[in-house]
Amino acid sequence: MPSGEKQSVFAKIKAALMRALKDYEMLMGEVLTEKGLITGAQLKEALKLQSDQFLRHKDGVGAGSEPLGVIIVRLGFAKEQDVLNAIREHYGIQVESLRDDIAGMVRRKRQEAKTALENHTATGEKA
């Protein structure tokens, strides 16, 4: 493969990996508002409720904060299946329940993309 073509392929791969990394950095609330499942006001309300739950738990009262997706569904802002589908589609993860460790799965995917980008960049610099 000629050097110019090889550099072009490397540049395209690098751009795709950078887009993937950016996608994994997007927060769930941003994903749901971008997809039109909830409004900004609904997201703000759900985040406030989650924060209040966390603060109560931090003081030793209550059972802790619920995952954001659970709160959004409980408040009636979106259907669980729609939230799950948005998460699966955006992050490319196999999530079965809003109580799954979605944040952990996304963190792992983000790290995989970051490592792939670093490896690709290192390989491209050697070529």
Backbone angles phi, psi at 40, to 5 degrees: -60, -40
Angle between helices 3-25 and 80-91 (to 10 degrees): 150
Q: How confident is the model at residue 121 (pLDDT cuts 50, 70, 90)?
A: confident
**Beta carbons within 8 Å of 78's beta carbon, 6+ residues apart:** 32, 37, 38, 72
Residue 19 has pLDDT above 90, yes or no: no
Q: How confident is the model at residue 7 (pLDDT cuts 50, 70, 90)?
A: low
CA distances from 53 to 44, 72, 74, 100, 107 (A): 14, 14, 14, 19, 23
- The span from the CA of 100 to the CA of 123, in Å, is 35
